[in-house]
Structure 1
Amino acid sequence: MKIASWNVNSLNVRLPHLEQWLTTFAPDVVGIQETKMEDHKFPDAVLAGLGYRSVFAGQKTYNGVALLSREPAQDVQIGIPGFEDEQKRAIAGTVNGVRIINLYVVNGQDVGTDKYEYKLRWLEAVHAWVADELKKYPELIVMGDFNIAPEGRDTHDPLVWNENHILTSTAERGALHKLQQLGLHDAFRLHNDEDGVFSWWDYRAAGFRRNLGLRIDLTLVSDALKARAVAAGIDREPRTWDRPSDHAPAWVQLG
């Protein structure tokens, strides 16, 4: 089963890209983030025509998440249980026995701001949710745009993206590490050791052409799925297309 995560940065703009990619890459499940689309506008029929069933939670202009799957998702959860949040950033469902949590993690703006504090509170709520989910669903994947680069080698310049910088600060990386300590493994790092492999590049300063990026889109697999995660990677191809999202899809293959 091939499972992928992609921040499309506006489904209204990127729907043709998503259609093309679903046809060529042919994942079994896709979590998408930043749909930036109200639910009544979600292209459910278009995606059904490509063989995908959809569950989604969106809002106008900002945020928005969805799960697309060849088999209908079961036991769907929208939002983090018990966490009051108007922003549509989390959705979960079970597909072929695998529990999948799709996250659009808060950016945080800058270290020390109110949005940064919100990000840390949000991640604490995610930790509690995932801990509870793992008790019910040992075979679990947490994926999405984490807006955290796990290590220095996941940035184009560790001196710039340091412990005091947003997306790489000590507290953010600590929250990610705490989440992984529940028994989650970065699928990409199970199969790839190299530096300089990224999933996001700024539109400015020819970021993609110069490979000035970050690896912030992650697929985390539980202990029970670690042995089944036979391959993982990042598909750079959609980032080369006309008017692309600034993110590329991250994926994991379960055997």
Structure 2
Amino acid sequence: MKVATYNVNGVNGRLDVLLRWLKRASPNIVCLQELKAPDAKFPAKAIEAAGYGAVWHGQKSWNGVAILAKEKEPLLTRKGLPGDPDDTHSRYIEAAVDGLVIGCLYLPNGNPYPGPKFSHKLAWFDRLTAYAAELLKLKVPVVLAGDYNVMPTELDVYKPERWLDDALFRVEVREAFRRLVDQGWTDALRELHPGERIYTFWDYFRNAFARDAGLSPQLAARLARAGVDKEVRGWEHTSDHAPTWVELSDAPDKEESKK
């Protein structure tokens, strides 16, 4: 099973790029971020014609997340991250697909530092960590995929000395990411490529990068491959992000696992 995440940076404006990539990569499950479209403007028919069912949580001009499933309809389980009833941003959606719980997230950018946006980012990260702990208690296979807007290590950023006061690389944010992972999640790309420089985001004006996916303990043993479709970043009229993906092996047969 191939599970991918892609910050599309405008689902309608870059629909041709998204459909081209879906046809080429053929992922089973896709998490999309930065739809930049209200619910009524989500291109459900075009995505359905490409062979994917979808659930989405849109917002006019900003944010927005969606989960696509190839030849299936995702079962919506949650819209919005718990912990703040006043949060109206469309940054989290969750669905059940093929026995997996898929959480698609778009963590706030947080710039400029210092300031209220940075404080909001840390608070959102705390809410995500608290909810992630609840998901782990369920002891079911969970993928938390999306745009975390964090560069956890110096391997994740070009010329890290330039980013010390950026909200994606601030020590507080990296520590927040580590607290999340230390609950028992697997950082999929880094698990399979521990010493490599692997970038998923190239700013339109300068190079910059961010992390994309996490697996619960029930899925860590099934992690077979992981990568970034870097060539998509070079397509005309493309997003500033590239799709990131993991491949999961089949779950062991319950009877076989008892032997």
TM-score, normalised by the number of residues in structure 2: 0.92
Aligned with 2:140: secondary structure? coil
User: What are the superposed Cα offsets for residues 175-216 of structure 1, whole Å, 9 maximum, x if unpaired?
Assistant: 111111111111101211344321111111xx4xxxx331x1
Letter in 2 for 1:13: G
Alignment of 1:139-218 (within 5 A): 139-162=141-164, 164-204=165-205, 207=206, 212-214=207-209, 216-218=210-212
What CA deviation, in whole Å up to 9, does each residue of 1:57-106 have, x standing for no partner?
Answer: 11111000000012222242100123221110000111111111111000
> SS of the residue aligned with 1:224?
helix
- Aligned residue-pair number: 247
Contact 2:75–2:97, Cα closer than 8 Å, also in 1: yes
**Structure 1 unaligned residues grouped into runs of 5+:** none
1:167/1:187 CA distance change after superposition, 3 Å: same
Pairs within 5 Å for 1:1-12: 1-12=1-12
Q: Which residue of 2 aligns with 1:222?
A: 216
Query: 1:137 & 1:233 partners in 2: Cα distance?
Result: 26
Q: Which amino acid aligns with 2:34?
A: E
Q: Distance in 2 between matches of 1:46 and 1:177?
A: 38
1:161 to partner: Cα distance: 2.1
Secondary structure (helix, strand or coil) at the match of 2:27 reads: coil
Q: Which amino acid aligns with 1:48?
A: E
Asked if the contact 1:143–1:217 (Cα under 8 Å) also holds between the matched residues in 2, the reply is no
Q: TM-score, normalised by structure 1?
A: 0.93
- What stretches of structure 1 move > 4 A for 4+ residues in a row? none
Residue 114 of structure 2: which of 112, 130, 134 is its match? 112
Q: Is the 8 A contact 1:185 1:222 kept in 2?
A: yes
Paired residues of 1:217 and 1:250 also in contact (CA < 8 A): no
Give the partner amino acid of 2:197. Answer: G
Query: Is 2:53–2:73's contact at 8 Å kept on the other side of the alignment?
Result: yes
Corresponding residue number in structure 1 for 2:45: 45
Matched with 1:33 is 33
8 Å contact from structure 2 (residues 17, 237) kept in 1: no
Q: Is the 8 A contact 2:228 2:243 kept in 1?
A: yes
Aligned pair partner of 1:125 in 118, 124, 127: 127
Contact 1:99–1:137 (8 Å) recurs in 2: no
Secondary structure at the counterpart of residue 15 of structure 2: helix
Comparing 189-198 with 227-236, greater Cα deviation is found at: 189-198
Matches within 5 A, 1:76-91: 76-84=77-85, 85-91=87-93
Give me the whole-angstrom Cα distance separating, in 2, the residues matched to 1:248 and 1:80: 25
Structure 2 counterpart of 1:63: 63
Cα deviation for residue 137 of structure 1 reads 4.5
SS at match of 1:81: coil
C-alpha separation between the residues in 2 aligned to 1:15 and 1:137?
36
Unaligned runs of 5+ in 2: 250-259
Amino acid at match of 1:28: N
- Amino acid of the residue matched to residue 136 of structure 1? L
Which amino acid letter does the alignment assign opposite residue 172 of structure 2? A
When the two chains are superposed, the root-mean-square deviation of aligned CA atoms in Å is 1.2
For 1:213 and 1:60, the matched residues in 2 are separated by 26
Q: Of residues 226, 232, 237 in structure 1, which corresponds to 2:226?
A: 232
Residues 196 and 151 (structure 1), Cα distance of their counterparts in 2 relative to 1, 3 Å cut: same
Q: Which residue is equivalent to 1:250?
A: 244
Cα offset, 1:223, TM superposition: 1.3
Match of 2:257 in 1: none
More deviation in 1-10 or 133-142?
Answer: 133-142
Query: Distance in 1 between the 2:158 and 2:140 partners?
Result: 35
- Percent identity between matched residues is 36
